[in-house]
Amino acid sequence: MSEPLKLGAVIITMGNRPLELQDLLDSVAKQQGPRVEVAVVGNGSPLPELPDGVRTAELPENLGIPGGRNVGIDLFGPAAADVDAVLFLDDDGLLPGDDTAELVRAAFAADPQLGIISFRIADPDTGVTQRRHVPRLRAADPMRNSRVTTFLGGACAVRSAVIQQVGPLPAEFFYAHEETDLAWRALDAGWMIDYRSDLVLHHPATSPARHVVYHRMVARNRVWLARRNLPWLLVPVYLGVWFALTLLRRPSRPALRAWLGGFREGWATDCGERRPMKWRTVWRLTRLGRPPII
């Protein structure tokens, strides 16, 4: 009988949610099966007192979500070599069930092609899962499991072999679309991604769109995402569709101004290494219900 998979959990924090962070750590500690190793990164902030055995890093500046998570990955050895898979968990989230880790182990053990698992995020008070937290176009039923083409960055599990093969999260993105960048690279390398409704993270229902900077980052990183990963023929199609959708959603004037500024910035600045996906990956994304033009 093979050994159970070793899991690590990466949590980044800015030091402003010490009570929520402790609750999350408690929920990780109560998981059934072998102990889940934990790494906590202070992203530009000092860390509070943490339980014994937690691996830590205090960064002098905020590196953003992907940059902070990459530091946490390396706390488990280069490219998370000390563990078989890494859970990324938001510091204001909580695992309500004690079988999440065992379900993750079972899913990865049963499917060698499975590289990433996206959890279901539910509001702790209402149990509601927002549509934006279901990583597919047909999002009306959050209880339906399916293969997907992206995942939720603060409620997921990523096989270490994926990171070792395709690289870590794109730190230059700072915030927004970093998960899709990793997802597309993983799919291009032959891995699959599952959305699992039975793997739940409790997280307060909020909207990132309440911050104007969100619109700038979303637009800039959308352009970077396309420039880095899509065949050139699809880049104008993908970005044209998203430009039209943004206008149809009629954002506020400040939000639209920030979005247009980010869109320009995405073309004018370095997007990092370009690794266009194969056309067979484009077809795979299409068969999975999300062709890379929307």
Q: What one-character-per-residue DSSP string does 17-46 give?
A: -HHHHHHHHHHHHT-SSSPPEEEEEEESS-
Q: Say if residue 41 is in the same domain as residue 173.
A: yes
For strand 85-89 and strand 7-13, is the pairing parallel, antiparallel, or unpaired? parallel
What's the pLDDT at 209?
56
What's the pLDDT at 294?
84
Q: Say if residue 128 is in the same domain as residue 215.
A: no
The reply to whether 117 falls in a domain is: yes
Q: How many domains does the chain have?
A: 2
Residue pLDDT, tens place only, 205-259: 876 655 678 899 999 999 999 999 999 999 999 999 999 999 999 889 999 999 9
What's the pLDDT at 182?
98
Pick from 202, 218, 249: which residue ends a domain?
202
Q: Say if residue 45 is in the same domain as residue 136.
A: yes
Q: Say if residue 197 is in the same domain as residue 259.
A: no
The reply to whether 167 falls in a domain is: yes
Pick from 202, 229, 259: which residue ends a domain?
202
Q: Say if residue 197 is in the same domain as residue 214.
A: no
Question: Taking Cα atoms as reference points, which of 2, 12, 58 lies closest to residue 178?
Answer: 12
Task: Please state, in angstroms and rounded to a whole number, the distance separating the CA atoms of residues 178 and 25.
Answer: 24
Q: Say if residue 73 is in the same domain as residue 168.
A: yes
The reply to whether 281 falls in a domain is: no
Q: Say if residue 32 is in the same domain as residue 143.
A: yes
Average pLDDT over residues 20-39: 98
Pick from 176, 202, 228: which residue ends a domain?
202
What is the span of the domain harbouring residue 48?
Answer: 7-202
The reply to whether 280 falls in a domain is: no
Burial (CB < 10 A; 0-12, 13-18, 19+), residue 57, is: middle
Residue pLDDT, tens place only, 76-124: 999 999 999 999 999 999 999 999 999 999 999 999 999 999 999 999 9
The reply to whether 80 falls in a domain is: yes
Q: Say if residue 78 is in the same domain as residue 108.
A: yes
What's the pLDDT at 124?
94
Residue pLDDT, tens place only, 139-193: 999 999 999 999 999 999 999 999 999 999 999 999 999 999 999 999 999 999 9
What's the pLDDT at 2?
77
What's the pLDDT at 208?
66
CATH for 95 = 3.90.550.10
Q: Say if residue 96 is in the same domain as residue 229.
A: no
Q: Is the pLDDT of residue 5 over 60?
A: yes
Q: How confident is the model at residue 1 (pLDDT cuts 50, 70, 90)?
A: low
Here the contacts of 276-285 (C-beta below 8 Å, separation 24 or greater) are 276/229, 276/230, 276/231, 276/232, 277/184, 277/185, 277/187, 277/188, 277/229, 277/230, 277/231, 278/188, 279/231, 281/184, 281/187, 281/188, 282/231, 282/234, 284/187, 285/149, 285/184, 285/187
The reply to whether 48 falls in a domain is: yes
